[in-house]
Amino acid sequence: MAQADPKPLSHHVALVTGGSRGIGKAIAEKLVSLGAAVSVCARDATALQSTAASLRALADHVFAQVVDVTNPQDISSLVQATEEKLGPITLLVNNAGIGNPGFGAVQDKSESDWDRVMDTNLKGVFLVCRAVAPLMIQRRRGDIVNISSLAGKNTFAGGAIYCASKWGLQGLSGCMAEDLRAFGIRVSVICPGSVFTEFSGRGAKDPTKVLTAQDVAHAVAMVALQGPQSFISEVHLRPVAKP
Q: Active-site residues: which are they?
A: 162
Distance CA 207, CA 219 (A): 19
Give the residue from 66, 63, 96 showing the smallest Cα distance to 82.
63
Instruction: Write the Ramachandran bin of 17: left for phi over 0, alpha for psi from -120 to 50, otherwise beta.
Output: beta
* DSSP SS3 for 192: strand
Cis peptide leading into residue 101 (ω within 30°): yes
Please give the single-letter amino acid code of residue 119. D
Q: Are 180 and 111 in contact (CB under 8 A)?
A: no
Phi, psi of 14 (to 5 degrees): -110, 140
Radius of gyration, CA atoms only, the chain: 17
Q: What size, in residues, is the chain?
A: 243
Task: List all residues 6 or more positions away from 49 whose beta carbon is below 8 Å from its beta carbon.
Answer: 64
Please give the single-letter amino acid code of residue 130. R
